[in-house]
Structure 1
Amino acid sequence: MRPIRRPDAVLVQAVIAGALSFAHLHDLAAAAGQSGWKAWAYPVSVDLLLVAAWRRLRISRAAGLPARSAWTWFTVALVASLGANVATAGLLDLGHVPDWLRILVAGWPALAFLGGTLLVHSPSEATSEPAPVPALPSADPEPAPNPTIEPAAVAVPPALVVHARKIADDHQTRTGSPIDADTLRARLGVPPLMADAIAAQLA
């Protein structure tokens, strides 16, 4: 007999809270003059910016990189969500929305687009990929059969090296052996070339 699967109370609570927040954002957007599908798009926009900022925060923390931009946009999305919930709790007459709130609601799509673009193309994203290695002239007219790129040629942010050293020390303490490049790459979530470059600096 299969065991009866009971609903997760935390998941149920999250679904209820998300649905209420979604409805409040929709009601506020509709009251501010955004009718039809546009009113339904506002909650999606706010929630997506919130999720994107939180994801960027986690990536930046894992890499030991600054997360000021992610914190800024996370705060903006959180204020937008909390503001809509508070405004629709009886503190605002939805039949007579003030002009300043109409301006904020109308300007939100441009602000959310800017925030999402900056989060996707933030400097921390760029540092997760190896820098291009310039080709060096060779005295040998024939190319080498298997050219290799030295790990040191890959640019590695100092903060990432510090974070990797902590991981390597923890691995050494737990296992009694130095961490290898593959394990380091998996822990950091970086490309193989960058993992080799970091391992070379930790040696």
Structure 2
Amino acid sequence: MRSSFRLDAVLVQAVIAGALSFSHLHDLAQAAGQNGWKAWAYPISVDLLLVAAWHRLRSLRNTDSPRRAAWIWFTVALAASLGANIATAGLLDLADVPAWLRILVAGWPALAFLGGTLLAHSPATSPEHDEPAPVRDAVPEAEPEQPARTAPVRDLPAPEPARQEPDEIAPAATAPALPAAPSVPPALIAHARKLADTHHATTGHAIDTDTLRARLGVPAPMADAIAAQLA
């Protein structure tokens, strides 16, 4: 409850101060010859430049970018607002404004436009420099392990080969059975025969197995079986 009351008091104070400064700037601009909507545009221009410069300073707070330009424009806008407050406090005859003040008021729009443009289009952060990658300490290569030395083995008499009885002799290993030739459909053989005849009529040579397999698109075993039937 206490913190919300303090926050509300700060907001009320900010609104009152802003309204008074706004009114003073309007009165000074009107006294300097800026009538109608122009007198209301001057306080808006001053306050916007002040807020833009302050926002720029906050955005550059945690960076390495130069903040001199933001401070300059913040000081210019603050001086314009503070000067209007002091000038309208009775120190200046608003019925007879001096010529130099009329010149400052008339030249303010161009100055505010320049400051706002520079604040809006300046880079927000400084370019980051590529930092070199940290070099890791060289790790010494592990030396290859040497095999452990074993004690010399004494010469022992070779064991005599065991005699095998005639009944214990293992039978001779039988030769592996050859894979059966794949069965070829008659229609495929007829088609292959047409291809072989066409190839012979074109080239004058009998078709080989590789060409036959490429023309038919069949595996090599089946191509061999078809070639065997065409021979």
Q: Return the TM-score normalized by structure 2.
A: 0.53
The answer to whether structure 1 residue 156 and structure 2 residue 128 are counterparts is yes
Deviation, structure 1 residue 78 = 0.3
Q: Indicate the residue corresponding to 2:113 in structure 1.
A: 113
Q: Indicate the residue corresponding to 1:77 in structure 2.
A: 77
The higher-RCO structure (CA 8 Å, 6+ apart) is 1
Q: In structure 2, how many angstroms separate the alpha carbons of the residues matched to 1:62 and 1:53?
A: 16
Gaps of 5+ in 1: 128-154, 158-196
Q: In structure 1, how many angstroms separate the alpha carbons of the residues matched to 2:12 and 2:90?
A: 26
Alignment of 1:6-25 (within 5 A): 8-25=8-25
Residues 146-177 of structure 1: per-residue CA shift (max 9 Å, x gap)? xxxxxxxxx515xxxxxxxxxxxxxxxxxxxx
> In structure 2, what residue type is equivalent to 1:82?
L
Q: Indicate the residue corresponding to 2:144 in structure 1.
A: none
SS in 2 for 1:66: coil
Q: Indicate the residue corresponding to 1:90 in structure 2.
A: 90
Q: Which runs of 4+ in 1 moved over 6 A?
A: none
Q: Indicate the residue corresponding to 2:124 in structure 1.
A: 125
Q: Indicate the residue corresponding to 1:32 in structure 2.
A: 32
> In structure 2, what residue type is equivalent to 1:66?
P
Q: Indicate the residue corresponding to 2:154 in structure 1.
A: none
Q: Indicate the residue corresponding to 2:202 in structure 1.
A: none
How many equivalent residue pairs? Answer: 131
SS in 1 for 2:61: helix
Q: In structure 2, how many angstroms separate the alpha carbons of the residues matched to 1:85 and 1:116?
A: 22
Deviation, structure 1 residue 126 = 6.4
User: Given that residues 57 and 70 in structure 2 are in contact (C-alpha distance below 8 angstroms), is that contact kept between their aligned partners in structure 1?
Assistant: yes
> In structure 2, what residue type is equivalent to 1:102?
R
Structure showing greater radius of gyration is: 2
SS in 2 for 1:33: coil
Q: Return the TM-score normalized by structure 1.
A: 0.60
Deviation, structure 1 residue 125 = 2.5
Change (3 A) 1:126 1:66: closer
Tell me the percent identity: 74
Q: In structure 1, how many angstroms separate the alpha carbons of the residues matched to 2:13 and 2:72?
A: 27
Q: In structure 2, how many angstroms separate the alpha carbons of the residues matched to 1:54 and 1:62?
A: 14
Q: In structure 1, how many angstroms separate the alpha carbons of the residues matched to 2:13 and 2:125?
A: 37
Q: In structure 1, how many angstroms separate the alpha carbons of the residues matched to 2:9 and 2:117?
A: 35
What is the Cα-based RMSD across aligned positions, in Å?
Answer: 2.3
